[in-house]
RNA sequence: GCGAGAGUGGCGGAACGGCAGACGCGCCGGACUUAGGAUCCGGUGCCGCAAGGCGUGGGGGUUCAAGUCCCCCCUCUCGCACCA
């Protein structure tokens, strides 16, 4: 071994050797359990990886390496989420083509991941923009289509002017596009494809209970799904025979207090029922509501506005005619776009009634007999009053009674409503997976037969989005014009492409058999490797990718393709690494730190260790390069330790009991902490042990201690430990070693320090044999000089003893 | 506004209700050096010469014992934002 640790001299050498010997190609040994660790599919951006991204990849690499050593068949693959707007926009900006930039960027990501020693099985690399991959994305589209889960609908959709495409609801954040948070979205009326994710709402919600995910993520999904139970009812419109207003309510028990109704301005009934006298005012209001930006309209602080339509509905419970208003606080996209207003029990309706002088009946009073408030709505549950057959009932019972009555009289039924809408998947852009659908004058909408897949994305030089709402693909006659698979007549292709999230809704299955060509995945391989044992990624995907992938998995389960209903039973979110200035690392801010620069300066192992050591894996922190100096220095000290041992001829040695015990305890700690993803404290334990080892001679250390140390460090610092391992005389890679076991007997302490507290303050410490009888410890404590001094003659009132820990004396 | 998470030395962070500050950075002192962003040794929460006292965002509480549990408040981050 060289005198000094020089990472550059060993890291590349070992990386090449591992690649040559196929060290990290996935093994499938039936005698071992499997472990599938996966990071979220990255989009390979032109900027390459930063040290922030590594905060995900390095820890997963440690887990993969550790699990392999601990006896598992490990699947740890990597691929590229290459279709989609970021790739297309980047290429447009640079005047290049994504088919050229994507492979280049992916190659750069791969180079960087190899540079830091991440052990992926590159033989399984996949790319969602490659025809062998998107063929199967199309296959899944057809599966959903066949199962009635893909449909086309005309409606007003979110449009981002910068993306020049329609977006799904989830992709709208605070009224702006999720990629362009400064660009407000607008509405555009277009016919679009949807996946019926709402059909899975209940299961997506219920199955959250059985998976091990961070609670905040589960909560976000629950809120996003937004299930609420209630009733759907309908009141007839007076003077319009056959017309009725259908509405959803969570408080059917308040029907007797319904003094007016409100429709969303876009509600289809509005033009029909508006009276001539009100028409002008109503039309103005509707036009104004349309013009309003979504941000304004979503504002909860804004005063409520509305207009009377001149029409009345008949409240079938009170038999009174009640006015029908329109107001923009009622949203067309939720429930039926219409509400019954119970101003006595709903604060929004209360405010509206107050403003427009509408009646405010009280039909629910507090159960404790106090009067209902008059300055606001009483929104809690209570007792029904002024409510006909409901009088005297508790809210819960009254809800059931109204539902029963409504069913019997065929005016409604209990129902469940969701905040979640269907997933809009059409994108009017070029760089995506073509939707395998053909339109025929005779046969209508015809799916492309499976044996004609993939529908190849044509080459285009000018793929600039049009802005008209049509995909650039519409300008390629060779693509658009085709024949109908059914009748053979002339037909046209769907020109929209699929939302990129479709590609990432099944990629975790493709890794099980990435080269399989008889289906999206080999059933046997899928059954063996899936589901993913540990899934790791950023919290920003809480309600998009994670919800979509869960839905697709349930569809696959229903279709008998897989045996599990949840793709990611265990999910963890890595903490965000901010730049040193506390801001997001970005090229435009000029604060990006690259792994390339860090590796050049300190080596891959030092960089890896700092990624692990800088803080808890799941917590955010700021990048601080000074820390790499520390881990680099640590590695140099380990180098010196091993070098001295090797130079001493690698003595078997005769370690003291303490050395043995410390080694065994460290094996226990490091194992436990890696299992719990506590990499920072796992490494701290190794640093601690090094500080102890440094005081010993090679003879006092011995082979067991040194080799255990090297093996424990191997998943975190793979290069230096490989160098050590060979220097210690081994022919095989350290990464093929078994994870060390500890002897529980050697992790127990013989003597312990017991603290003595007097009135809660530490006044003395005793060193005693572990397991010393309580009486002896108490007696000893009371005879000690510092204890006597602080007692000052006072008699203990109470003495608490925690075995081997403390004596607490109260005076 | 509602919901979730987080506030610990100069800094990153440790700590089954039981010795607050492990480990590391930085800093101070020393050794070896022509030199040091190398290496090694020692020190380092605050106040105090010391004995000792004070300390985990602030204020209460439970407990022999609270960073940890309970209540109120402040700050920051994230999510949702009229969902009937």
State the complex-level ipTM.
Answer: 0.94
CB-strand contact A574/B, under 7 Å: no
For strand B, list residues 181-220 of chain A whose Cβ lies within 7 Å of it. Answer: 215-216, 219-220
Between the CA of residue A95 and those of A89, A341, A460, A461, what are the distances in Å? 10, 56, 13, 10
Please state whether A560 falls in left (phi above 0), alpha (psi between -120 and 50) or beta.
Answer: left
Nucleotide B28 C1' to residue A809 CA (A): 39
For strand B, list residues 130-159 of chain A whose Cβ lies within 7 Å of it. Answer: none
Give the model's pLDDT for residue A67: 97
For strand B, list residues 606-665 of chain A whose Cβ lies within 7 Å of it. Answer: 613-616, 619-622, 624, 626-627, 629-631, 633-634, 636-637, 640
Nucleotide B19 C1' to residue A769 CA (A): 18
Residue A497 burial (10 A CB sphere; 0-12, 13-18, 19+): buried
Which nucleotide does the CA of A629 lie closest to, via C1'?
A: B25
Q: Which pair of tokens denotes residue A681?
A: 């404290």
Nucleotide B76 C1' to residue A375 CA (A): 35
pLDDT digit string, tens, across residues A679-694: 999 999 999 999 999 9
Q: Strand B positions with any atom < 7 Å from protein CB? A: 1, 3-5, 11-16, 18-20, 22-26, 37-41, 53, 64-66, 77-84
Which nucleotide does the CA of A688 lie closest to, via C1'?
A: B23
Task: Please tell me whether residue A431 adopts helix, strand or coil conformation.
Answer: coil
**Interatomic CA distance for residues A392 and A398, integer angstroms:** 9
Nucleotide B83 C1' to residue A421 CA (A): 11
Nucleotide B31 C1' to residue A280 CA (A): 94
Nucleotide B43 C1' to residue A605 CA (A): 30
- Element counts in chain A: helices (H) and strands (E): 26, 34
Q: Which pair of tokens denotes residue A205?
A: 């919600």
Residue ranges of chain A with per-residue pLDDT less than 50: none
Task: Please tell me whether residue A624 adopts helix, strand or coil conformation.
Answer: coil
Between the CA of residue A698 and those of A511, A633, A703, A704, what are the distances in Å? 46, 21, 9, 11
CB-strand contact A292/B, under 7 Å: no
CB-strand contact A779/B, under 7 Å: no
Which nucleotide does the CA of A543 lie closest to, via C1'?
A: B79
Which nucleotide does the CA of A227 lie closest to, via C1'?
A: B83
Task: Please tell me whether residue A249 adopts helix, strand or coil conformation.
Answer: strand
Task: Please tell me whether residue A562 adopts helix, strand or coil conformation.
Answer: coil
Give the model's pLDDT for residue A294: 57
Task: Please tell me whether residue A541 adopts helix, strand or coil conformation.
Answer: helix
CB-strand contact A46/B, under 7 Å: no
Nucleotide B8 C1' to residue A721 CA (A): 35
Q: What are the strands of the beta sheet with A571-573, ordered from one edge? A: A73-75, A34-39, A534-537, A571-573
CB-strand contact A597/B, under 7 Å: no
Which nucleotide does the CA of A341 lie closest to, via C1'?
A: B84
The dihedral of CA A587, A593, A599, A605: what is its sign?
negative
Residues in CB range of A438: below 8 A, 6 or more apart: A445, A446, A447, A448, A482, A484, A485, A491, A492, A493, A494
Which nucleotide does the CA of A254 lie closest to, via C1'?
A: B84
**Interatomic CA distance for residues A383 and A385, integer angstroms:** 7
Number of Cβ within a 10 Å radius of residue A752: 16
Q: CA nearest A5: which of A643, A771, A780, A750?
A: A643
What's the CA dihedral at A143, A147, A150, A154 to 10 degrees? 150
Nucleotide B12 C1' to residue A40 CA (A): 27
- For residue A810, cis peptide bond before it (omega within 30 degrees of 0): no
Number of Cβ within a 10 Å radius of residue A303: 8
């Amino acid at each position: 071994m060289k005198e000094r640790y020089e990472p550059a001299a060993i890291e590349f050498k070992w990386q090449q050797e591992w690649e040559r010997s196929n060290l990290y190609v996935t093994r499938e040994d039936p005698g071992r359990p499997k472990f599938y660790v996966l990071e979220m599919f990255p989009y390979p951006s032109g900027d390459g990886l930063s040290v922030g991204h590594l905060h995900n990849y390095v820890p997963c690499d440690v887990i993969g390496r550790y699990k392999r050593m601990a006896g598992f068949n490990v699947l740890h693959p990597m691929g590229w989420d290459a279709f989609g707007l970021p790739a297309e926009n980047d290429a447009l900006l640079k005047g290049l083509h994504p088919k050229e930039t994507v492979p280049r960027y992916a190659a750069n990501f791969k180079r960087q991941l190899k540079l830091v020693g991440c052990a992926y099985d590159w033989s399984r690399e996949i790319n969602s923009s490659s025809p062998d991959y998107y063929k199967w994305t199309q296959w899944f589209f057809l599966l959903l289509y066949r199962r009635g889960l893909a449909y086309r609908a005309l409606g007003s959709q979110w449009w981002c002017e910068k993306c020049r495409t329609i977006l799904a609801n989830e992709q709208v954040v605070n009224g702006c596009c999720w990629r362009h948070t400064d660009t407000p979205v607008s509405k555009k009326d277009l016919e679009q494809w949807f996946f019926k994710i709402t059909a899975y709402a209940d299961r997506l919600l219920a199955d959250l209970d059985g998976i091990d995910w961070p609670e905040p993520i589960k909560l976000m999904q629950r809120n996003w799904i937004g299930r609420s139970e209630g009733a759907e009812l309908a009141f007839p419109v007076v003077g319009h025979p056959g017309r009725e207003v259908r509405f959803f309510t969570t408080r059917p028990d308040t029907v007797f207090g319904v003094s007016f109704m409100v429709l969303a301005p876009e509600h289809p009934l509005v033009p029909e029922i508006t009276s001539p006298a009100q028409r002008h005012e109503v039309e103005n209001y509707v036009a104004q509501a349309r013009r309003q930006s979504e941000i304004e309209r979503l504002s909860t602080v804004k005063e409520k506005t509305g207009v009377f339509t001149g029409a009345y509905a008949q409240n079938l419970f009170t038999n009174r005619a009640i006015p029908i208003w329109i107001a923009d606080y009622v949203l067309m996209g939720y429930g039926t776009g219409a509400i019954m207003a119970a101003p006595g029990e709903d604060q929004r309706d209360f405010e509206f009634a107050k403003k427009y002088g509408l009646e405010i009946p009280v039909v629910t009073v507090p159960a404790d007999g106090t009067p209902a408030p008059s300055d606001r709505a009483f929104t809690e549950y209570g007792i029904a009053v002024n409510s006909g057959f409901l009088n005297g009932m508790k809210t819960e019972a009254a809800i059931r009674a109204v539902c029963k009555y409504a069913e019997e009289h065929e005016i409604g039924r209990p129902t469940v409503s969701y905040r979640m809408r269907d997933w809009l998947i059409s994108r009017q852009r070029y760089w995506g997976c073509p939707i395998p659908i053909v339109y025929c004058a005779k046969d209508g909408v015809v799916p492309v037969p499976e044996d004609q897949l993939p529908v190849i994305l044509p080459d285009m030089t000018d793929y600039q989005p049009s802005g008209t709402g049509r995909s650039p693909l519409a300008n390629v006659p060779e693509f658009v014009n085709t024949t109908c698979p059914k009748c053979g007549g002339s037909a046209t292709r769907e020109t929209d492409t699929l939302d990129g999230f479709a590609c990432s809704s099944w990629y975790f299955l493709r890794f099980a058999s990435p080269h399989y060509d008889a289906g999206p995945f080999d059933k046997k391989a899928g059954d063996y490797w899936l589901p993913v044992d540990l899934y790791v990624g950023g919290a920003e995907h809480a309600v998009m990718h994670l919800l979509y992938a869960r839905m697709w998995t349930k569809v696959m389960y229903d279709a008998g393709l897989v045996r599990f209903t949840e793709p990611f039973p265990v999910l963890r979110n890595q903490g965000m690494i901010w730049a040193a200035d506390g801001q997001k690392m970005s090229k435009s801010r000029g604060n990006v730190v690259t792994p390339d620069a860090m590796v050049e300066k300190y080596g891959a192992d030092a960089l890896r260790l700092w990624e692990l050591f800088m803080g808890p894996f799941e917590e955010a922190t700021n990048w601080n390069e000074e820390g790499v100096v520390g881990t680099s220095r640590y590695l140099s000290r380990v180098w010196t330790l091993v070098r001295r041992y090797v130079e001493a001829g690698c003595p078997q040695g005769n370690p003291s009991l303490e050395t043995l015990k410390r080694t065994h305890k460290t094996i226990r700690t490091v194992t436990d902490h890696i299992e719990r993803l506590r990499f920072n404290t796992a490494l701290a334990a190794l640093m601690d042990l090094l500080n102890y080892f440094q005081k010993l001679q090679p003879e006092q250390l011995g082979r067991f201690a040194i080799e255990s140390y090297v093996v424990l460090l191997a998943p975190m610092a793979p290069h230096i430990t490989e160098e050590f391992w060979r220097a210690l005389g081994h022919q095989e890679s350290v990464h093929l070693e078994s994870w060390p076991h500890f002897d529980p007997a050697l992790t127990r302490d013989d003597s312990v320090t017991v603290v003595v507290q007097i009135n809660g303050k530490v006044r003395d410490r005793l060193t005693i044999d572990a397991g010393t009888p309580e009486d002896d410890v108490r007696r000893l404590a009371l005879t000690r000089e510092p204890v006597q001094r602080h007692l000052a003659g006072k008699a203990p009132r109470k003495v608490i003893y925690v075995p081997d820990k403390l004596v607490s004396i109260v005076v």
